[in-house]
Structure 1
């Protein structure tokens, strides 16, 4: 391995904010990032304007070479990567599969910054799935990549608690910063010639974090209140939990479990006044909706919504399909 006087030639691959924090950590600590790989620019938002991702923006700001291949299965793309002569490839939320031919190019292989405590929550949406499942903690795993889906040997872990108030947005931001810390620990060790002991994953303990789809956001009021609230937290900021009111989608941004019971059917509004907007859920439990968004409106606190559209949200009104 390299000596302290010989910096590793690092190729970084990533696309969103989560990855940008890891790239920023490498750059701020003087590591030699020789090139950045990121997803091709794509149209986003209602205007479908083509925009660069956060990793690309950071790379351009730091005047780093940027590569945006459609696939790394293309032999030409693989040859281009090999010409960079990387010692190490760091991958964080890149979004493209790395075939074995790519994994074999860097002298020290490829390592991945993953947003869970592997082998729990392998896959695309580990942050959201951890909240949905009611996990008390999650974290970052730095993994030596292999050809499987998040199945490689683990090099280092840092844990992160999940509070009862965390949304996917708040947990994502903490994990993104933690990912940079964990990555630096591993890269510094490799650069200093330290020998890391890879820990194989116990696949019998693995769980799969399937990619989110928009349809998941529809609230199932027959679930207990704690599960309804977890879904609202997990789907903030995307796809955003929603329920139906007179056939139209009402987005639910924040909510709490209320320590009381009700005999009302699931989905029925049981209170709508200055003291709260409360909805019956499964097992006679109750959800308090704190922030919601009516069709064509803005996300507002329940009191503001009731002041403006009280006729829509009356006790006895049933939300849902």
Structure 2
């Protein structure tokens, strides 16, 4: 995927709050600007391509498989957070709750720690559901979609069927 000579490039900052959707938007603007700036040099022959080290080329699989979308709570908080960001807005990370798919659209990192097993619900608050990760640092789920329902803020979920969720339950089983 990332192979061949480089004719032009531009570096962008990937913010900790970026996800696939925001990166798509950033890159579409940068890409179109880069194309407009680069095409005249290509047509005039002024641009000299720079060879890449082919040993460092990376390849992406053609499609993400369903099992790759599932959250692995045994991973560190940062890995779980990046997993959720990397699948938002599509195809969307998921876990299970009460044996059914429970999609997670957005989450925030916290500084809170817990000795609970990975995937354990540790706190249930209006603004989010705090879940233990593999490095014992909690991650707070803020936008979710329970099976058969629409995507919603956790506060809306909590006022509905989420009221059945209990501290100590395990997600992903």
Q: TM-score, normalised by structure 2?
A: 0.93
State the partner residue of 1:301.
153
State the partner residue of 1:130.
none
State the partner residue of 1:251.
103
Q: What SS does structure 1 have at the residue aligned with 2:144?
A: strand
Q: What SS does structure 2 have at the residue aligned with 1:314?
A: coil
CA RMSD of aligned residues (A): 1.4
Deviations for 1:110-151, whole angstroms, at most 9, x for unmatched residues?
xxxxxxxxxxxxx3xxxxxxxxxxxxxxxxxxxxxxxxxx42
Decide whether the 8 Å contact of 1:291 with 1:300 is kept in 2: yes
> Which structure has the higher relative contact order (CA within 8 Å, separation 6+)?
2
Structure 1 regions of 5+ residues with no counterpart?
1-122, 124-149
1:180 and 2:2 correspond: no
| Runs of 4+ that moved beyond 4 A | none
State the partner residue of 1:271.
123
* 1: CA distance, partners of 2:139 / 2:172: 14
State the partner residue of 2:76.
224
Q: What SS does structure 1 have at the residue aligned with 2:11?
A: strand
* 2: CA distance, partners of 1:219 / 1:241: 6
Q: Within 5 Å, which residues of 2 pair with 1:65-104?
A: none
State the partner residue of 1:204.
55
Q: What SS does structure 1 have at the residue aligned with 2:115?
A: coil
How many residues matched?
A: 172
State the partner residue of 2:137.
285
Decide whether the 8 Å contact of 2:120 with 2:169 is kept in 1: yes
State the partner residue of 1:5.
none
Larger radius of gyration: 1
Q: TM-score, normalised by structure 1?
A: 0.51
Aligned-pair CA distance for 1:277? 1.2
* 2: CA distance, partners of 1:198 / 1:230: 33
Q: What SS does structure 2 have at the residue aligned with 1:160?
A: coil
Aligned-pair CA distance for 1:264? 0.5
Decide whether the 8 Å contact of 2:84 with 2:104 is kept in 1: yes
The 1:177/1:275 distance shift into structure 2, 3 A limit, reads: closer
1:318 and 2:162 correspond: no
